[in-house]
Amino acid sequence: MSTLNASGWRPEMTENDVTTPSTFTGNRALMLEEALIFEIGDEHTTGVDLDAAPSVQSRLGGMDRNRGIGLPGLSEPQTVRHYTRLSRQNYGIDLGFFPLGSCTMKHNPRLNEKVARMKGFADVHPLQPQETVQGALQVINELAFWLIELTGMHGVAMAPKAGAHGELCGMLCIKAALEARGEDRKVVLVPESAHGTNPATAAFAGFTVEDIPATPEGRVDLAALKKRLGPDVAAVMITNPNTCGLFESDLKTISDAVHAAGGYVYCDGANFNAIVGKVRPGDLGVDAMHINLHKTFSTPHGGGGPGSGPVVLSEALAPFGPIPYAARYADGSFKLVEEESAGEEHPQTFGRMTAFHGQMGMFTRALSYIMSHGADGLKQVAEDAVLNANYILRSLEDTLEAPFAAFGPCMHEALFTDNGLAEGFTTLDIAKGLIDEGFHPMTVYFPLVVHGAMLVEPTETESKAALDQFIGALRSVANRAKQGDPALKTAPHFAPRRRLDETLAARKPQLVWKEPELPIAAE
Ligand SMILES: *Cc1c(COP(=O)(O)O)cnc(C)c1O
């Protein structure tokens, strides 16, 4: 790649340069092509030799399966290679920078992984007698203490298993509190700058959702919100920092107004990593806020899990929080307050959200993260995350439109739009071009408040050198999109897969595996 031009792209490079020569195998050097397991495996291959199963008296009353179920078998080396090859086509935070906005893909210190794997934590079973899991309960209780401390709140529900699950927990607390007051408030106000899960949660909890517009500065329109408050408003759900990557600086004023009108304030605190150690939501009048342990307090969370979304609660809402919760008694022992004991200790609980008490593995990771960083370290997490995002914002605002950059610094993520690209070029082209540059794309087309959004969250993890490389790559790709480089329209060229027809993939999924017909044996 010694002939790169200033924009980082070989000007003479054409589509053909990239796609030819093709190989006999479809492999590209040591990047191996891999088919689906259903295409390479068959029913007759297996990794182990087992004796034929002894015939047994069926106990299924004639409902026996009389055919194989068609699962493909592979030998052991084939199996190992299949999954190893697939894993090499994967991209993760341990390979490189992962700038997904609103996802907080940060490095997860290995220390926390080690702690979570300690036998005493990893091997506990939720149905063990409580006197045998005192240490685990202590971890839950201590983490609960620090979450309350860091947020300035009154209580915390540890059970919710993700951010959105935490939102539901908070909204159910609000519902229970309104019921206890004998009030039937139905409306939840959700500003445009809120995360998409907020209106979904409010609707799921049985409320009617109404939008509150955003100002040109990307924040809640305070006047519009105040005007809408009234006796039918149960709550306001505000994301802070919001999905434009901005701090909702009017939050205290909003909370006061909502409380004066008899409502509650739900704050989506998934982005707590931007303010941890700097601001306590309790001081801003928040009544309920979920914290995504998997974003702020470490845990690898690619591929959809695991998550953990404890909800901190104000004095007004804490009595309604779910069971079970880990309580510490005067004699120093720990106990889960469950249905049986809730009657005396937690009589107003709205009930149970999960079978057990939450994600133990994530609790140990989060507590390990908090304790190893300490108060000064957590504050630095927020400062570095914000500094990194602003470095990206200021480095690229001359290349990409940054709609809110003129109004001051951003928080943990930098927002750009597709305004100013050449005719026919879009945010999607920039995202695909970044793949060729070896970067996972940023979040695209979210938030919805701006056109063709590109939301970049560097987190506190990245070094200046890594950010400079990303900024260079994004500038190069953005300039190609502004100049209308046709090769960008067909990017990625170097990835294991070319650009997919996403509409076709959604409308006509080609599911290779055919479910075998399973005739049920008749007696
Ligand atoms: C990630 C996120 C959520 C949802 O969290 P999950 O754990 O994915 O359910 C909600 N709000 C904001 C602002 C987020 O960034």
Ranges of each domain in the chain: 111-367, 384-507
pLDDT for position 34: 87
Confidence at residue 519, expressed as pLDDT on a 0 to 100 scale: 52
pLDDT at residue 515 in the model? 57
Q: Dump pLDDT digits (tens) for 402-452.
A: 999 999 999 999 999 999 999 999 999 999 999 999 999 999 999 999 999
Type of residue numbered 35: A
Q: Which atom of ligand 1 is nearest to the CA of 294?
A: 7
Beta bridge partners of 211: 190
Residue 202 pLDDT: 97
Kindly indicate the confidence band of residue 10, based on its pLDDT and cuts at 50, 70 and 90. very low
- Residue 17 above 70 pLDDT? no
Mean pLDDT across 7-31: 60
Task: Enumerate residues 6+ apart whose C-beta is below 8 A from 444.
Answer: 427, 428, 431, 452, 453, 454, 455
Query: Does the beta carbon of 163 sit less than 6 angstroms from any atom of ligand 1?
Result: yes
The residue-averaged pLDDT of 13-27 equals 62
Q: What is the pLDDT of residue 404?
A: 96
Position 357 scores a pLDDT of: 87
Residue 306, pLDDT above cutoff 90:
no
Provide the CATH number for the domain formed by 384-507 in this structure. Answer: 3.90.1150.10
Q: Is the CB of 455 under 6 A from ligand 1?
A: no
Q: Are 401 and 454 in contact (CB under 8 A)?
A: no
Q: Is the pLDDT of residue 308 over 70?
A: yes
Closest CA to 184 of 201, 204, 206: 206
Question: Is the pLDDT score of 235 beyond 70?
Answer: yes
Q: How far is the CA of 437 from the centre of ligand 1 (A)?
A: 28
Q: Do β-strands 288-290 and 233-239 pair in parallel, antiparallel, or remain unpaired?
A: unpaired
Answer whether residue 68 shows pLDDT above 90. no
Per-residue model confidence (pLDDT) at position 305: 66
Cβ–Cβ under 8 Å, residues 230 and 236: no
CA of 165 to the centre of ligand 1 (A): 9
Rounded distance between C-alpha atoms, residue 145 and residue 139, angstroms:
10
pTM: 0.88
Per residue, the 3-state secondary structure of 253-264, as one string, reads HHHHHHHHCCCE
Distance 166 CA to ligand 1 centre (A): 9
Confidence band for 8, pLDDT divided at 50, 70 and 90: very low
Q: Does the structure show a pLDDT above 60 at 205? A: yes
CATH fold for domain 111-367? Aspartate Aminotransferase; domain 2 (3.40.640)
User: How far apart are the C-alpha atoms of 93 and 97, rounded to whole Å?
Assistant: 6
**DSSP collapsed to 3 states, 264-292:** EEEEECCCHHHCCCCCCHHHHCCCEEECC
Give the strand order in the sheet containing 443-444.
414-416, 454-456, 443-444
> Could you tell me which of 451, 396, 452 has the C-alpha nearest to residue 427?
452
Instruction: Please name the residues in contact with 363: beta carbons below 8 A apart, sequence gap of 6 or more.
Output: 139, 140, 143, 158, 293, 308
CA of 40 to the centre of ligand 1 (A): 38
Question: How far, in Å, from the CA of 83 to the mean position of ligand 1?
Answer: 29
pLDDT of 307 higher than 70? yes
Q: Is it the case that residue 233 has pLDDT exceeding 80?
A: yes
Q: Could you tell me which residue, 37 or 367, shows the higher pLDDT?
A: 367
Residues 184/150, Cβ–Cβ less than 8 Å: no
Coil, helix or strand for 239? Answer: strand
Task: Tell me if 199 CB under 6 Å of ligand 1.
Answer: no
- Alpha-carbon distance of 408 to 458, in angstroms, equals 18
| Choice from 292, 353, 455 to test ligand 1 binding pocket (greatest atom count within 8 A of CB) | 292
Average pLDDT (161-167) is 95
At residue 210, the 3 state secondary structure works out as strand
256-278 pLDDT, tens digit per residue, is 999 999 999 999 999 999 999 99
CA distance 181 to 184: 9
Q: How confident is the model at residue 46 (pLDDT cuts 50, 70, 90)?
A: confident
Atom of ligand 1 nearest to the CA of 307: 7
- Report the percentage of the chain scoring pLDDT > 70: 93
pLDDT tens-digit readout, 313-358: 999 999 999 998 888 888 888 888 888 788 888 899 999 999 888 9
Q: Is the pLDDT of residue 66 over 80?
A: no
Q: What residue owns the CA closest to ligand 1's atom 3?
A: 163
Mean pLDDT (the chain) is: 90
Buried b (16+ CB within 10 A) or exposed e, 381-391: bbebbbbbbbb
Do 167 and 153 form a contact (C-beta atoms < 8 A)? no
The region, left, alpha or beta by phi > 0 then psi within -120 to 50, assigned to residue 459 is: left
The two tokens of residue 346 are 């937690």
CA-to-CA separations, 450 to 392, 407, 453, 458, 477, in angstroms, rounded = 18, 15, 6, 20, 20
What is the rounded (10 degree) CA torsion for 282, 284, 287, 290? -70
pLDDT > 90? residue 363? yes
Determine the Cα–Cα distance for residues 516 and 70; give it in Å rounded to an integer: 6
| pLDDT value for 69 | 77
Distance between CA atoms of residues 458 and 478, nearest Å: 18
Q: How many residues does the chain have?
A: 523
Q: Grade residue 2 by pLDDT with cuts at 50, 70 and 90.
A: very low
Q: How far apart are CA 187 and CA 233, in angstroms?
A: 5
Instruction: With both helix axes pointing from N to C terminus, report the angle between 427-436 and 464-483 in degrees, rounded to the nearest 10.
Output: 130
Q: What is the pLDDT of residues 114-136, one digit of tens each?
A: 999 999 999 999 899 999 999 99
Which pLDDT band holds residue 29 (cuts at 50, 70, 90)? Answer: confident
